[in-house]
């Protein structure tokens, strides 16, 4: 398999890599860039654990070819806050929306994306937006609560 040169921005940093043309983004992030916060849990786009933001929109890195992100912007869980914690991260810690933590990066990135699209989502809108992300520990309630609290805080800020 031939390798192709790709240049993309990950968490604000320009990276140039040679990748196989069939290589998946998840493997490049985890193995080549050691960004292991992006999790493998199904490999077929069923669970959402490998979610990353591509140009600010959520994509499943297990179904995305690395060559497809050439020239684009990727944000992983490691890149959502430069110093300290982002409000969504804080809210997840405060509301115990994290148990084993394996689904958490995907959940947080989905929540970030939702709040960007819709700064004040209803509970049903949150549930609908996160329904592709599987969590086996929490039963989702505290995750939904954590996201909702961010929405409310956001409103208070205005």
Q: Is 19 in the site for another protein (CB under 8 A)?
A: no
Q: Could you give the C-alpha distances from 129 to 1, 115, 133, in angstroms and in order?
A: 37, 10, 9
Kindly identify the residues of this chain, within the stretch 61-80, that bind another protein according to CB under 8 A.
76-78
What is the number of alpha carbons within 13 Å of residue 73 lying toward its C-beta?
7
| Gyration radius of the chain's alpha carbons | 16
- Identify which of residues 71 and 77 has a Cβ nearer to another protein in the complex: 77
Stretch that binds another protein, among 2-10, 66-74, 87-95, 113-121 (CB under 8 A): 87-95
Distance CA 30, CA 39 (A): 8
List of residues contacting another protein (CB under 8 A):
20, 30-31, 34-44, 46-47, 49, 76-78, 81, 85, 89-90, 92-105, 108, 123, 126-128, 130-145, 148
């Amino acid at each position: 398999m031939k390798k192709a040169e790709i240049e993309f921005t990950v968490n604000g940093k320009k990276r140039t890599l040679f990748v196989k043309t069939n290589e998946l983004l998840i493997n490049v992030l985890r193995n080549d860039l050691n960004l292991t916060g992006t999790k493998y849990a199904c490999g077929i786009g069923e669970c959402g654990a490998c979610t990353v933001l591509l140009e600010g929109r959520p994509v499943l890195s297990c179904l995305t070819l690395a060559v497809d992100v050439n020239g684009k912007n990727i944000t992983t869980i490691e890149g959502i806050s430069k110093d300290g914690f982002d409000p969504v991260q804080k809210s997840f810690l405060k509301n115990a929306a994290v148990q084993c933590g394996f689904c958490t990066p995907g959940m947080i990135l989905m929540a970030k994306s939702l709040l960007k699209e819709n700064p004040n989502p209803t509970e049903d809108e949150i549930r609908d937006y996160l329904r592709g992300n599987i969590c086996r520990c929490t039963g989702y309630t505290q995750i939904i609560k954590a996201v909702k609290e961010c929405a409310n805080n956001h409103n208070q800020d205005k």
